[in-house]
């Protein structure tokens, strides 16, 4: 009964989406307030219906209802509760439902927290979001119904893929999807503004906090995924340029370009057309990413052929969304104003250059991800595009970006002078080079690639420090004013600085771990030990342990430093009972300056095992940097000017959600 | 905790410590670490054909283990890196290479990013120069709020 309720709720949701996608839009076109008034209640109803469907699917998982095909394929009676819930998004059908659920959350947030928007604008935005949900609901109901029944009912389920049975599965997909789908808000605002012809500074101001919050979710989501790969895949890599990762990275790059472009559009009214195009691009890439990951096309283009309905629907949906928004763009963009004038050398120009680099980087990732699919589809041979390719094309694009990150924030809006910037940054440049060489020297070895990385990281830090000092330095020689000025810095600016500092920390971590990581692959009998980087790893032995749905061998490796015990690490090798694939669970001792990483290989003669041990310097800075970026984005999204506007224009109390303090 | 207790804890802990001589220095997993490093470097750019996007170096699959052994043999025999990669390509096609070879069908892949950068930079320059030549009346009123720029 429960699956039928969920299924029925989805059909009802489809009906509501049709109404939401048409009535308020037509109302806005004809100036009918009663039609526009449908938007908000329809959005809320849609949210409730999809939430009901979601709850039904969760309930089917929790209750082990293996008469539901999707549950039978992705769960098992021995699966722990948290993974039964996470199993909801463990496959194609449930992921789509999660996607729509997230879309509805954003829709509800827009409906709740945008009361100060003119009714026509809000109606158009919600209508566009309604149309997007319509597409996804249709896709689900026509080709990927998560509530499909299975007869005869199997005795037990096929289990969730063991790779996904990890706490990462509980948090990573929802966070990532929240980010992906969050760009639908910027997209819908842009499309609504194109239709309504109100692309002005207000539009940029409305869009900015929403885009920032979506970007924050996406950043955190990607970082979580990377961390998960790091501890679960066994060899301690943190980014593999896997198409699935690229699928989330492309919208991130476009979104990063978008938040920078929005800054100019809000401040100066310039690049409106470009900003709109980026908003369309970021969301289109989110759609593309969702489908790339979920359609099976990545493992083989021929996966499309096994279920041509899905493939065709996906292609048609992408074509409709991207095609119609670009057509609308081509029609409306020429009428959009140029904004305020700026000189060839100005902060505007630097931000545009940043956008060019980010979008070219996104294009390179897109090219590398789709190229093998295209060649295969055209029967021109099968190739693989992997890390060697991406590293080769990506680093040269990021290097100038890091340089610009130092220069841009110091350049004045409208008109800047290169000699002036050079003078102000000469100390930063010197400090960056000296600090980079010093870092290499302390780490033990100065290499060219490492120095390049360190120079980038220190350059960003030093120019940030210069920027900060120029803003707070005592003008009349009163040192007490420094603290006061520090407090007066707008939160958006602090956010920018924190995020840029995060980039520096990220680059620092990547450079450190790529250059100075020490790895040892050893054969260890009980009592054997090996030393790396001053740590002694002693193998104590292994024992069998039984998990809820797996058998494991758990090793114990004691780590000492200068005779003092640091930790006992317990890496595991698991075999999940249903699907019978072996899984490596590395043991990690994280630290600010280094991670110790132990992973069990294969058993060899006697009680000996192949054990792989690593000392990974500064690797946590990779994710720490991402979290700083995200925190910076959050600070910027909650800047006073959005909150003040919201409070002034809203009759209701200030919102609680972070996404709410937008404007 | 009194100092005495700490001392006792230290003593107990020291007694639990494996006696030197009982455990030995662990041997490298590979017979020849130099050969192993070279093998890992080569297989780190080769795709394991039965896995989902993993290198032969990283994979636990039977095929990958066999191929690693085979490559150790080839290195021992004195083959160069190029010879090994040629052998793998002859056997499995370009699909095995994570660094796609530069040929007619992959020219766009390799030169695409550079091309995009050039086009992007040129477009940026053209747009900016065109803006410079436009009359002031084409632009919106300048409402530069300088508050953010002044300390």
Chain A residues in contact with B96 (beta carbon < 8 A): 384
> Per residue, what are the HEC states of A238-277?
CCCCCHHHHHHHHHHHHHHHHHHHHHHHHHHCCCHHHHHH
Interface of B with A in 64-83 (CB under 8 A): none
Contact flag A385-B141 (C-beta cutoff 8 Å)? no
Strands A609-617 and A529-532: unpaired
Chain B residues in contact with A582 (beta carbon < 8 A): 60
Which of B20, B113, B149 would you mutate first to test chain A, the one with the most A CBs within 10 A?
B113
Residue A427 half-sphere exposure toward CB, CA atoms < 13 A: 10
d(CA A458, CA A18): 53
Token digits of residue A426: 């000469």
pLDDT digits (tens, 9 = 90+) for A276-307: 999 999 999 999 988 887 766 766 555 555 66
Using CB atoms, pick whichever of B98, B112, B142 lies closest to residue A340.
B142
Token digits of residue A581: 């694939």
Distance from CA of B125 to the nearest CA of A (A): 9
Burial of A155 by CB count in 10 Å (0-12 exposed, 13-18 middle, 19+ buried)? exposed
Using CB atoms, pick whichever of B94, B120, B142 lies closest to residue A383.
B94
Contact flag A386-B99 (C-beta cutoff 8 Å)? yes
Angle of CA points A463, A454, B109, to nearest 5°: 105
Strands A518-524 and B27-28: antiparallel
> So what's the pLDDT on residue B8?
57
CA quadruple A8, A14, A16, A21: dihedral, nearest 10: 180
User: Which residue(s) pair with A557 in the sheet?
Assistant: A539, A569
Contact flag A528-B25 (C-beta cutoff 8 Å)? yes
- Give residue B31's Cα distance to chain centre: 25
Complex ipTM value: 0.86
Strands A529-532 and A518-524: unpaired
> So what's the pLDDT on residue B44?
87
Nearest residue to A286 via CA among A176, A436, A188: A176
Interface of B with A in 19-58 (CB under 8 A): 22-30, 36, 45, 47, 52-53, 55, 58
Helix segments in A63-91, DSSP class H? 69-74, 81-86
User: Which residue(s) pair with B28 in the sheet?
Assistant: A522
> So what's the pLDDT on residue B25?
83
- Supply the DSSP symbol for A616: E
d(CA A573, CA A103): 38
Number of H helices, E strands in chain A: 21, 10
Using CB atoms, pick whichever of B13, B142, B151 lies closest to residue A471.
B151
- DSSP of A327-345: HHHHHHGGGS---S---SS
Chain A residue with CA closest to B94: the answer is A383
Contact flag A267-B151 (C-beta cutoff 8 Å)? no
Chain A residues in contact with B64 (beta carbon < 8 A): none
Q: How does B39-54 read in b/e, with b if 16+ C-beta sit within 10 Å?
A: bbebbebbbbbeeebb
The verdict on A398 touching B (C-beta cutoff 8 Å) is no
pLDDT digits (tens, 9 = 90+) for A358-375: 999 999 999 999 999 889
Measured between alpha carbons, how far is residue A528 from residues A482, A553, A650, B24 in Å?
57, 18, 69, 5
Chain B residues in contact with A339 (beta carbon < 8 A): 139-140
Contact flag A414-B145 (C-beta cutoff 8 Å)? no
- DSSP of chain B: --HHHHHHHHHHHHHHSPPBTTB-BPEESSS-HHHHHHHHHHHTTBB-TTSSS-BTTT--SHHHHHHHHHHHHHHHHT--HHHHHHHHHHHH-GGGBSS---SGGGHHHHHHHHHHHHHHHHHHHHHHHHHHHS-GGGSPP----GGGT--
pLDDT digits (tens, 9 = 90+) for A385-436: 989 999 999 999 999 999 999 998 988 888 888 888 998 999 999 999 999 9
Chain B residue with CA closest to A482: the answer is B151
Q: How does B132-148 read in b/e, with b if 16+ C-beta sit within 10 Å?
A: eeeeeeebbeeeeeeee
- Give residue B45's Cα distance to chain centre: 9
- pLDDT under 70 in chain A at which residues? 234-235, 295-296, 298-307, 475-480, 644-663
Chain A residues in contact with B51 (beta carbon < 8 A): none
Which residues make Cβ contacts (< 8 Å) with residue B17, sequence separation at least 6? none
Chain A residues in contact with B94 (beta carbon < 8 A): 381-384
Q: Which residue has the tokens 């009982």?
A: B22
Radius of gyration of chain B (CA): 31
What's the average model confidence in pLDDT over B101-111? Answer: 91
Chain B residues in contact with A421 (beta carbon < 8 A): none
The verdict on B16 touching A (C-beta cutoff 8 Å) is no
> So what's the pLDDT on residue A658?
38
d(CA A258, CA A279): 6
- Asked if residues A637 and A618 have their Cβ atoms less than 8 Å apart, the reply is no
* Inter-chain contacts counted by CB atoms under 8 A, chains A and B: 172
Using CB atoms, pick whichever of A389, A472, A612 lies closest to residue B99.
A389
The verdict on A451 touching B (C-beta cutoff 8 Å) is no
pLDDT digits (tens, 9 = 90+) for A466-511: 999 888 877 666 666 777 788 888 899 999 999 999 999 999 999 9
pTM, two decimal places? 0.90
d(CA A315, CA A307): 13
> So what's the pLDDT on residue A236?
73
d(CA A473, CA A485): 8
> Per residue, what are the HEC states of A503-520?
HHHHHHHHHHHHHHCEEE
pLDDT digits (tens, 9 = 90+) for B44-87: 889 888 877 788 888 777 888 888 888 888 988 888 888 999 99
- Asked if residues B39 and B75 have their Cβ atoms less than 8 Å apart, the reply is yes
> So what's the pLDDT on residue B142?
62
Chain B residues in contact with A230 (beta carbon < 8 A): none
State the CB neighbour count (10 A cutoff) for residue A186: 28
Q: Which residue has the tokens 């939401």?
A: A20
The verdict on B132 touching A (C-beta cutoff 8 Å) is yes
What's the average model confidence in pLDDT over B110-115? Answer: 94
Distance from CA of B79 to the nearest CA of A (A): 22
Contact flag B112-A385 (C-beta cutoff 8 Å)? no
- Give residue A548's Cα distance to chain centre: 32
Q: Which residue has the tokens 């090798």?
A: A573
């Amino acid at each position: 009964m429960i699956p039928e309720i969920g299924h029925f709720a989805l059909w009802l949701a489809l009906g509501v989406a049709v109404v939401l996608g048409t009535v308020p839009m037509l109302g806005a076109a004809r100036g009918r307030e009663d039609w526009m008034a449908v938007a908000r209640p329809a959005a809320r109803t849609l949210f409730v219906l999809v939430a009901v469907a979601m709850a039904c699917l969760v309930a089917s998982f929790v209750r082990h209802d293996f008469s539901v095909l999707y549950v039978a394929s992705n769960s098992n009676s021995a699966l722990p509760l948290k993974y039964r819930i996470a199993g909801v998004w463990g496959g194609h059908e449930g992921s789509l439902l999660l996607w729509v659920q997230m879309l509805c959350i954003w829709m509800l947030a827009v409906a709740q927290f945008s009361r100060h928007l003119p009714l026509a604008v809000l109606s158009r935005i919600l209508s566009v979001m309604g149309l997007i949900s319509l597409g996804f609901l249709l896709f689900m109901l026509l080709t990927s119904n998560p509530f499909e029944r299975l007869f005869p009912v199997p005795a037990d389920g096929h289990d969730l893929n063991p790779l996904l049975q990890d706490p990462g599965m509980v948090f990573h997909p929802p966070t990532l999807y929240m980010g992906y789908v969050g760009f639908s808000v910027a997209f819908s605002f842009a499309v609504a503004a194109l239709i309504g012809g109100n692309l002005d500074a207000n539009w940029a101001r409305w869009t900015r906090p929403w885009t920032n919050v979506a970007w924050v979710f996406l950043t955190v989501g990607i970082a979580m995924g990377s961390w998960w790969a790091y501890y679960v895949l066994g060899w301690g890599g943190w980014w593999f340029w896997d198409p699935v990762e690229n699928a989330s990275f492309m919208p991130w790059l476009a979104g990063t370009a978008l938040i920078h472009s929005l800054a100019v559009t809000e401040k100066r009214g310039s690049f409106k057309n470009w900003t709109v195009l980026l908003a369309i691009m970021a969301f289109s890439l989110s759609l593309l990413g969702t489908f790339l990951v979920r359609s099976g096309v990545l493992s083989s283009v021929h996966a499309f052929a096994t279920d041509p309905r899905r493939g065709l629907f996906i292609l048609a949906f992408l074509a409709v969304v991207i095609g119609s928004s670009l057509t609308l763009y081509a029609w409306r963009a020429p009428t959009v104003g140029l904004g305020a004038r700026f000189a060839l050398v100005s902060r505007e120009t630097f931000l545009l250059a940043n956008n060019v680099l980010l979008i070219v980087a996104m294009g390179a990732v897109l090219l590398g991800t789709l190229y093998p699919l295209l060649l295969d589809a055209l029967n021109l041979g099968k190739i693989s595009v992997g890390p060697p390719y991406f590293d080769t094309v990506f680093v040269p694009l990021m290097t100038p970006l890091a340089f610009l990150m130092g220069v841009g924030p110091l350049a004045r809006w409208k008109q800047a002078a290169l000699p002036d910037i050079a003078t102000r940054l000469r100390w930063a440049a010197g400090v960056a080079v000296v600090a980079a060489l010093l870092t290499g020297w302390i780490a033990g070895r100065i290499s060219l690639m490492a120095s390049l990385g360190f120079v980038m990281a220190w350059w960003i830090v030093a120019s940030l420090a210069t920027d900060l000092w120029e803003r707070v330095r005592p003008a009349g020689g009163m040192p007490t004013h420094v603290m006061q000025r520090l407090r007066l810095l707008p939160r958006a600016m602090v956010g920018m600085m924190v995020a840029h500092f995060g980039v520096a920390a990220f680059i620092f971590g990547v450079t450190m771990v790529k250059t100075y990581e020490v790895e040892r692959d050893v054969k260890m009998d009980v009592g054997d030990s090996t030393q790396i980087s001053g740590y002694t790893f002693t193998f104590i032995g292994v024992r069998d342990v039984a998990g809820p749905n797996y058998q494991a061998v758990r090793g114990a490796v004691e780590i000492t430093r200068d005779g003092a015990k640091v930790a006992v690490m317990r890496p595991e090798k698991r075999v999940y009972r249903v699907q019978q694939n072996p899984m490596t669970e590395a043991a990690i001792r994280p630290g600010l300056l280094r991670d110790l990483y132990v992973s069990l290989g294969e058993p060899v003669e006697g009680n000996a095992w192949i054990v792989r041990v690593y000392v990974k310097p500064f690797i946590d800075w990779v994710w720490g940097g991402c979290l700083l970026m995200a925190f910076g984005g959050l600070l910027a999204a909650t800047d006073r000017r959005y909150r003040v506007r919201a409070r002034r224009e809203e009759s209701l109390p200030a919102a609680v959600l972070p996404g709410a303090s937008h404007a | 905790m009194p100092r005495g207790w700490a001392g006792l804890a230290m003593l107990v802990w020291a007694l639990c410590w494996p006696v030197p001589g009982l455990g030995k220095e662990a041997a490298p997993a590979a017979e020849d670490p130099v050969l192993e490093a070279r093998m890992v470097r080569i297989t780190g750019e080769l795709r394991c054909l039965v896995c989902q996007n993993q290198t032969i170096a990283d994979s636990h699959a039977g095929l990958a283990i066999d191929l690693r052994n085979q490559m150790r043999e080839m290195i021992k025999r004195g083959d160069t890196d190029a010879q090994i990669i040629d052998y793998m390509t002859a056997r499995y096609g370009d699909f095995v290479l994570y660094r796609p070879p530069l040929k007619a069908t992959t020219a766009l892949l390799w030169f695409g990013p550079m091309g995009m950068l050039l086009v992007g930079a040129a477009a940026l320059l053209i747009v900016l120069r065109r803006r410079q030549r436009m009359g002031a009346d084409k632009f919106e009123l300048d409402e530069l709020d300088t508050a953010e720029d002044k300390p």
